[in-house]
Structure 1
Amino acid sequence: MNINILRMTDSAKLPERGSVSAAGYDLFADVAEDVTIAPHETKMIGTGLAMEIPEGYFGGIFARSGLSAKEGLRPANCVGVVDSDYRGEIKVALHNDGEQARVITPAEKIAQLVVVPFLSVDFNEVSNLSDTARGEGGFGSTGKH
């Protein structure tokens, strides 16, 4: 699959894969200087990129495992969604879950983008749903085995 991508600034870095089989493509901070994120604060970090994600797909913006586990930084909405009709700059709302301020440096890896297919559906309102063995059992209802 080819995805058209636009560098909105000279300093923007194109997404990169960490390995040949990696599902995610690293996104890099396109900032002119260090950005400090205080404990429990969220800051929007631009990538300097815009792209044309094909119809029927979306770009999922996920945490980078090392940044999240070691630094306590993750996308504020846990998974960001870049729709196929969005043409603006891709930004990451980066949240600091830790108790210490964290610094994002220019060109630092801040998240990963995974291109994911989805189904477009129509919702059919009904008066009853079919029965199942689980029924209305919610969180934890299936128990541990």
Structure 2
Amino acid sequence: MNNSITLKIKKVNPDAIIPQFAHEGDAGMDLFSVDDLDINPGECKLIKTGITIELPRNTEAQVRPRSGLALKHQITVLNTPGTIDEGYRGEIGVILINHGKESFSVKKGMKIAQMVIKPVLTVKIQEVQELTDSERGTGGFGSTGF
């Protein structure tokens, strides 16, 4: 079965690296920085990738953290997962935050995040006066125990 779709990518910075999968079968492709900058402890910064994309119809791109940066340096994507909508044509940026105790240097060409392409369902909004009951009901935070 062929689940392949085409993602169109345009470089808007000559230093940009086209996203790539590290291994066959990976869900996420690596995104690379075109910036050289430092992120101090507790600080967040927008890191540019130097690319724009054209997503296939009925898809979104999710920007997710890299586990190695999180484990080794406490660097993560602030609004994870960041959503890139199908119609967006601007440069892809990644908001990184430093939860560590030391400054972190982002270097040009560094892998900074992952991008996963996911299908999007189109839903119709219907306002109603009542919702059907469920077993869970209104049980929220901590309702299933600790």
Question: What's the TM-score bracket when you normalise by the shorter of the two chains?
Answer: over 0.9
Corresponding residue to 2:143 among 133, 141, 144: 141
> Separation in 2 of the partners of 1:77 and 1:4?
24
1-structure distance, mates of 2:136, 2:88 = 39
- Confirm or deny that 1:3 pairs with 2:7: yes
Aligned to 1:21: 25
Superposition RMSD in Å:
1.0
Give the unaligned 5+ runs of structure 2.
Answer: none
- Residue 94 of structure 2 aligns to a residue whose secondary structure is strand
Farther off after superposition, 1-10 or 57-66 = 1-10
Equivalent pairs counted in the alignment come to 142
Code of the residue aligned with 1:93 in structure 2: it is: I
* TM-score (norm: length of structure 2): 0.93
Task: Write the letter of the residue equivalent to 1:46.
Answer: K
Alignment of 1:123-142 (within 5 A): 123-142=125-144
Structure 1 residue 16, shift from structure 2 partner: 1.1
TM-score (norm 1): 0.94
Structure 1: tracts of 5 or more residues without a match: none
Q: Percent identity?
A: 39
Amino acid of the structure 2 residue aligned with 1:85: G
> Residue 49 of structure 2 aligns with which residue?
47
